[in-house]
């Protein structure tokens, strides 16, 4: 670490503990490089967090859940809501369901803290997570009054839309 004090005769230098030059960044050039790298990481972070449908969800495992909303998160790049659902044995399980970002929800008729709130009873269709956990990708929400709104896009299979996302039922 640099122990030298600034004097009126020597220009001040920016010094940060980062492991360069004996643990100290001592020039404007190094500072600019450091700030540029940090800005690049901040800009790229949302892209790292984003994922494809097929990586997380199974298009061949559709789900229909009915329960009570416990939480709603209007976040980017995806919104989420949590739903208490009774399983086959009567045990209540809290499901996490992913959907559109807030701007798409708003454009399709959703209003934050109005359309869906904690305590609302709803039915949701979508697709189960590949890992079999209590979470999924939502498609359509049906409210108690019968109104239906899309909360998420259709399933993506990674084939460019050539194959149906769910096999057609056989008669």
The verdict on 145 and 79 lying in the same domain is yes
Question: pLDDT tens-digit profile of 2-14?
Answer: 555 555 554 445 4
Residue 165 lies in a domain: no
Q: How confident is the model at residue 18 (pLDDT cuts 50, 70, 90)?
A: very low
Domain range enclosing 139? 53-150
Q: How confident is the model at residue 146 (pLDDT cuts 50, 70, 90)?
A: very high
SS (H, E, C) 81-122: EEEEEECCCCCEEEEEEEECCHHHHHHCCCCCCCCCCCCCEE
Question: pLDDT tens-digit profile of 38-88?
Answer: 665 555 444 444 556 667 888 889 999 999 999 999 999 999 999 999 988
The verdict on 38 and 71 lying in the same domain is no
Residue 22 lies in a domain: yes
The verdict on 124 and 80 lying in the same domain is yes
The verdict on 9 and 58 lying in the same domain is no
Residue 84 lies in a domain: yes
The verdict on 89 and 129 lying in the same domain is yes
């Amino acid at each position: 670490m640099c122990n030298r004090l600034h004097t009126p005769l020597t220009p001040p230098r920016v010094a940060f503990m980062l492991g360069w030059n004996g643990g100290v960044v001592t020039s404007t050039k190094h500072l600019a490089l450091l700030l540029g790298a940090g800005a690049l990481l901040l800009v790229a972070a949302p892209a790292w967090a984003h994922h494809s449908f097929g990586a997380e969800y199974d298009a061949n495992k559709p789900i229909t859940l009915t329960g009570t909303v416990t939480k709603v998160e209007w976040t980017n790049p995806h919104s989420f809501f949590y739903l208490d659902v009774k399983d086959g044995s009567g045990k209540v399980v809290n499901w996490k369901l992913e959907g559109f970002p807030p701007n798409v929800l708003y454009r399709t008729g959703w209003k934050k803290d109005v359309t869906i709130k904690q305590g609302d009873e709803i039915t949701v269709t979508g697709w189960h997570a590949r890992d079999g956990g209590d979470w999924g990708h939502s498609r359509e929400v049906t409210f108690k009054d019968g109104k239906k709104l899309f909360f998420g896009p259709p399933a993506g299979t990674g084939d460019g839309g050539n194959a149906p996302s769910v096999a057609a039922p056989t008669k």
